[in-house]
Amino acid sequence: MINLLIVDDHFVVREGLKMILETSDRYNVVGEAANGEEALDMIGRLKPDVVLMDLNMPVLSGLEAMKGIKHRGWDVPVIILTTYNEDDLMISGLALGAKGYLLKDTDRENLFRNIESAVRGETLLSADVMQRVIAAREMPKQEQPVPTDADLLTDKERTILLHVARGFKSKEIACDMGIAERTVKAHLTSIYNKLGVDSRPQAVAAALEKGLIKM
Contacts of residue 111, defined as CB under 8 A and 6 or more positions apart, other chains included, come to: 17, 20, 21, 102
Q: What is the CATH number of domain 2-136?
A: 3.40.50.2300
The CATH number of the structural domain formed by 143-210 is: 1.10.10.10
**Nearest-5° Cα angle at 111, 62 to 206:** 55
CATH 3.40.50.2300 range(s) for the chain read: 2-136
DSSP conformation class of 170: H
Q: Where in the chain is the domain with CATH 1.10.10.10?
A: 143-210
- Could you tell me if 172 and 111 are in contact, meaning their C-beta atoms sit under 8 angstroms apart? no
Whether the pTM exceeds 0.95: the reply is no
Tens of pLDDT along 32-70? 999 999 999 999 999 999 999 998 888 899 989 999 998
Dump pLDDT digits (tens) for 121-164. 887 766 666 666 666 555 554 444 444 455 688 889 989 999 99
Give the bridge partners for 54, in sequence order.
Answer: 81
